[in-house]
Each structure stands twice: as structure tokens, then as C-alpha cells.
Amino acid sequence: MRMRRVIGIDVHRTFGEVVFWENGRLRHAGRIDMTRTALEGFGKTLLASDEVVLKATGNSIAVSRVLAPFVARVIIANALQVKAIAQAHVKTDKIDAGTLASLQAAGYLPQIWTPDAETERKRRLVARRYQIVRQRTRLKNEVHSILHAHLIPKCPHADLFNARGRAWLAAHQLPDDERATIDRHVRELDRLAEDLALLEREIAQDAIEDSAVNRLMTITGVNLAVAAGIVAAIGDISRFNSPQKLVSYFGLNPRVRQSELGAAHHGRISKVGRSHARAMLVEAAWAAAKAPGPLNAFFVRIRARRGRQIAAVAVARKLTVLCWHLLTKDEDYLWARPALVANKTRAMQLQAGHPQQKGSRRGPAYAYNIKALRDHEMLIAAQAEHSYERFVSQWKPRRPKTGARAPQLGKTK
């Protein structure tokens, strides 16, 4: 009978600490460099039946891909759950590597799903786009802050950074150093706009033939960037057996605290998960809250009790549940507006580099330009919103929570 071996590696930026688990004992094997050459050399010393365990880090997937051809399995562990299971007062790299190997040998290692190369590439594209958008927002906020510091009123144009807005900005007197700062920020915005256009083109080219992205774009408020980001973050929807699992994956589930027989207390959302996907869902929630439909009615109902910010997060959570149902059941959004969806699809095609069709009145995308049809779809969406409101108003009140004080017998109000 061949002896089972589990190799735990505590991965860092430049090196990894290695510990072998063999026959119930741990053996320290020193350090290896985090380079492809060193990892391939280490992999050649392993057995084909070995199991390698890594903790999720920024380079753990790359390490996994290098070692995978040499061993039976490479497992990437959930760092937060490993910390919760094996909390130690004495913490070293050697102890961490041994903990990973011991947990895997005992069958208690919390693993994460490893995406394939194509899904990982799409995740990188979406993450880079999100970073560029954040940089552009930061630069714009700094320009607005300079104007505010010098008592310059709000720009009368829709966008301060389009041609008319820039002409208005150039007409105001500012100190030389502030003017130089604004000019530098505007040049940086133009450069970032070019990078953003290239990324969005690549994302659109991937999304044109992706049925999941096109299906999510039928939801009001969900555009190409949001749909592509959600699909890239999810990967394989079948690994989530319920919508609550997907909500938890995006960190939109509330924290729950309960002690003994007391009532459970629900706090803020956990924010444990893919942060940029969660941010895009909240962005889509704000867009959905401005358009007529059931999502807008839900937003208004929550806003009346909890405020705008909590209502937006609640809509983001509902969007997550909706995405799970659409992707699992292979169905489009029930209250989709066909002309609006066609307009989104045409915009995606133009981003991907498809030729323009100026003056053409053929195809479903042109229908969005017909005001009568657009108003008709808005009317149907408003009717769906009113139907949702009536449905909610007929709900029965909830039963008292566990731990609530029961009415005393023999007393009447």
C-alpha cells in the first residue's frame, strides 16, 4: 500500500515554506523560490500520487498551474476559513504550512473553486476596467475639489470634461499651480479614456457570443460592463446550489449574531467576496431604481423604512438572486423591455468593432429610437411596478421572532 503524502506550502511573494505530511507526521522541507524554474524543479521531486495544498493568495493560481502536471491534485484553501478553523497563538510560516497539510489529510480543509484559464482572463479584464474607472473618478473628484476651493460655481453643462465643459473650465481664472494640476489631470483622463476603450472593446468581443452575458443584459439597469463582470466572477453557476450561496459569495449577506436563546441580530453586509463585482451590482441597483418596474417599487419600499443607501444594497442583493435564477433556468428577465435590450446589444456590437449602420432603419435596435414604442414599453414596466406594489401590500405580517416576549395569559389590552 502506497503511503499518502500531503504537501503544504505557505506561499509568499518571493518564497514558499514547505511542510510534508506523511503517515500522521509533519516534516519541514525548507523553502522554495516563487519562480517558474524553481517550482518546476520542485515538482519533479514529487510523486504522482501527492497532494499539494496552497493558501489563496495573489499568485496561488499561477503556482497551482505550474505544479499541477507533477502531482495528483493541487488544492487552494480559503484563507479566511483556514484562519477560523486553526487559530494559533504561535504563528510562523512553518506552522501555517503544516496546518494546511494536516487539515487536508484530515478532510477538514475549506477549498475554493479554481477558475479555468479563460474565466481567469475575463476576470482580469473586468478588474482592470474597474480600476481604470476608479482612477478616472478620483481625478474628476480632484478637479471638482479645486473648483470648490476657489469658489467657482457648478458647471452648467452636463459633463465638465466634454468639449463644452472644458471650454467653460478654461474661461475661469485660477492660480498657475492649480491650472497646471487641472491640465495634468485632464491629460491623464484622456489617456485613461483610450485604455478604457481598448479594454471595453475586448470585453465586448468576448461577450457577443456569450449567452449568459446577453441574458443578464435583459435586466433593467444591467449593462454590458455589469453583466460581463458578474459572469466572470461567477464562472460556473452550477457550483452555487441556491441563490443565497451566490449572495454570500458576493458579500451581500448580512452578518448574524445570536447568543443562547436570544433573538438573532442582523448587522451590516459581510463584504466578504469579490469586491468589484459587488460594487458593479450596487451601481446596477442605482440604475434599476431610476427606471419603472418591480425593482423600482422594491427600492421605494425599502427606502421608506431604511433609507437610500440600504435600499440600494437591498436591490443589489435582489439583482444577485435574479441573476442566479436567470442563469440556472436559462431564461430571460420576465419584465425585459425588448427595444432597450436591443439597444444594449447594438451598443455592445459597436464597442466590439462592428461597422456602423448610419441612416439604417432596419433591425430591432432602431426600435428604441421610436418614441411611441419606447413610451409603450415604459407603460408596461409601470404597470408591472404597480402590480408588484399591490402584491406586496397583500402580504400577511410576519410571526414574532424566536425569543420575543409572549403575551401573558389572563391579561387583555
Domain residues for the domain of 163 are: 117-207
Does position 411 have pLDDT exceeding 70, yes or no? no
Say if residue 49 is in the same domain as residue 20: yes
Whether 291 and 252 share a structural domain: yes
User: 355 with 229, same domain?
Assistant: yes
Q: Which bin fits 33, alpha (ψ -120 to 50), beta or left (φ > 0)? A: beta
Residue 86, pLDDT score: 67
Whether the per-residue pLDDT at 406 is higher than 70: the answer is no
Residue 399 lies in a domain: no
Does residue 403 form part of some domain?
no
Kindly tell me if the per-residue pLDDT of 6 is higher than 90.
Answer: yes
The CATH number assigned to the domain holding 18 equals 3.30.420.40
Does the residue 145 lie in any domain?
yes
Q: Which amino acid is at 302?
A: I
Q: What's the average model confidence in pLDDT over 84-100?
A: 79
Can you name the residues that pair with 25 across neighbouring β-strands? 22
The last residue of one of the domains, among 178, 207, 236, is 207
Please check whether residues 170 and 286 belong to one and the same domain. no
Mean pLDDT of 169-194: 95
Name the CA dihedral angle for 358, 362, 363, 365, rounded to a multiple of 10 degrees. 50
Instruction: Give Cα 329 distance to the centre of its chain.
Output: 21
Indicate if 244 and 380 belong to the same structural domain.
Answer: yes
pLDDT of 407 above 50: no
Helices (H) and strands (E) in the chain, counts: 15, 7
- Please say which residue of 174, 207, 240 terminates a domain: 207
Domain boundary among 70, 85, 106: 106
In this structure, the answer to whether residues 252 and 314 fall within a common structural domain is yes
Q: Are residues 328 and 180 in the same domain?
A: no
Spell 51-86 as b/e; 16+ CB within 10 A means b: bbbbbbbeebbebbebbeebbeebbbbbbebbeeeb
pTM for this entry: 0.82
- pLDDT of residue 143 exceeding 90: yes
Confidence of residue 361 (pLDDT cuts 50, 70, 90): low
Task: Write down the pLDDT at residue 1.
Answer: 47
Q: Are 95 and 88 in contact (CB under 8 A)?
A: yes
Regarding whether 166 and 18 lie in a shared domain, the answer is no
Q: Do 277 and 148 fall within a single domain?
A: no
Q: Which of 67, 19, 11, 58 is nearest to 39 (CA)?
A: 67
Cα–Cα dist 155/140, whole Å: 13
Residues 222, 336 within the same domain: yes
Using CA atoms, how far apart are residues 377 and 371, in angstroms rounded to an integer? 10
* Domains: count for the chain: 3
For residue 129, name the pLDDT band (cuts at 50, 70, 90). very high
- pLDDT tens for 283-322 read 999 999 999 999 999 999 999 999 999 999 999 999 999 9
For residue 237, the 8-state DSSP code is G
410 within some domain: no
Q: What's the rounded Cα separation, in Å, for the pair 377 and 408?
A: 54
User: CA-CA distances (angstroms) from residue 175 to 43, 149, 346?
Assistant: 62, 11, 45
What H or E segment, with its residue span, contains residue 8?
Answer: strand 5-11
Q: Could you give the C-alpha distances from 101 to 35, 54, 151, in angstroms and in order? A: 22, 9, 62
**Partners of 5 in the β-ladder:** 22
Q: Is residue 413 part of a domain?
A: no
Residues forming beta bridges with residue 51, ordered by sequence position: 6, 73
State pLDDT tens for residues 37-89: 999 999 999 999 999 999 888 899 999 999 999 999 999 998 877 876 666 66
